[in-house]
Amino acid sequence: MVVIKLLKSKVMSSTKYFLNQFLAQERRLIVKSQKKLKKVTICNKLVLLLCLIFFSTTYVNAQKGLFIKLSLGPGYTTEYSSINSSGFTITKNHAIGWGITDKFALQIGEFGGLVWQKFENYNYINLDAFGLGFSYRTPIDIKISVLGAYSKVSFAHKWSEAGGDDGGNGIGINMSMDKEWFIAKRWGIGLGPQVFWLKTKETDYKFFNVSLNASIVFYLNPVR
The residues spanned by each domain of the chain are 1-56, 65-219
- Predicted confidence (pLDDT) per residue in 180-214, tens digit: 998 988 999 999 999 999 999 888 999 999 999 99
**140 or 105, which is more confident?**
105
Task: Identify the band that residue 104 occupies on the pLDDT scale cut at 50, 70 and 90.
Answer: very high
Q: Is the dihedral of CA 64, 65, 71, 75 positive or negative?
A: positive
Rounded distance between C-alpha atoms, residue 31 and residue 37, angstroms: 10
Amino acid occupying residue 40: V
Q: What is the pLDDT of residue 54?
A: 47
The Cα-based distances of 85 to 6, 44, 116, 127 in angstroms read: 84, 41, 11, 15
Q: What is the pLDDT of residues 30-57, one digit of tens each?
A: 655 555 545 545 555 555 555 544 444 4
Mean pLDDT over each residue of the chain, to the nearest integer: 81
**Cβ partners under 8 Å of residue 186, min gap 6:** 218, 219, 220, 221, 222, 223
Q: What is the pTM of this model?
A: 0.69
pLDDT at position 64: 79
Q: Is the separation of the CB atoms in 64 and 221 below 8 Å? A: yes
CATH 2.10.240.10 fits 65-219, yes or no: no
